[in-house]
Amino acid sequence: MAARAKRVLDVGQCRPDHSATRGVLVSWFGVDVDQAHSADEALAKLGEKPYDLVLVNRQLDADRSPGLDLIRSIRREAKLSDVPVMLISSQDDAQEAAVEAGAVRGFGKAVLAHPATQVLLKPYLDITAWA
């Protein structure tokens, strides 16, 4: 039986940023990438199917709400407690707050296509990591 492609939920990014993120992730890992613009939409999608990683923008594009609020909401859901969540932000204080809220350390948009980001994402998205 063939393994399913890993899935990423990209939350709160504008169309160009989502497109860039999706392009990099598909190129590197062959993953399926879904998009959500708001916290409500993200939580609904997380309830519909499993995701291997959730990427949350520091400020959601739909309503400018803090991505940190969504991270906290995800962590309050028992059925989502094992889903890795990363904040997309280059601000160290935002990354630290996200980790304190239960996320794993993320990255900023400026380093999206950088090899260090690929290394950061590999444990969550590389299909060979399933073994």
* 95: alpha, beta or left? (left if phi > 0; alpha if psi -120 to 50): alpha
The 10s digit of each residue's pLDDT in 16-53 is 999 999 999 999 999 999 999 999 999 999 999 999 99
Q: Which residues pair with 10 in a beta bridge?
A: 35, 55
- For residue 105, give the H/E element and its range: strand 104-107
CA angle 47, 48, 53 (to 5 degrees): 70
* DSSP letter, residue 86: E
The domain limits of the chain are 7-130
Whether domain 7-130 has CATH 3.40.50.300: the reply is: no
The 10s digit of each residue's pLDDT in 81-120 is 899 999 999 999 999 999 999 999 999 999 999 999 999 9
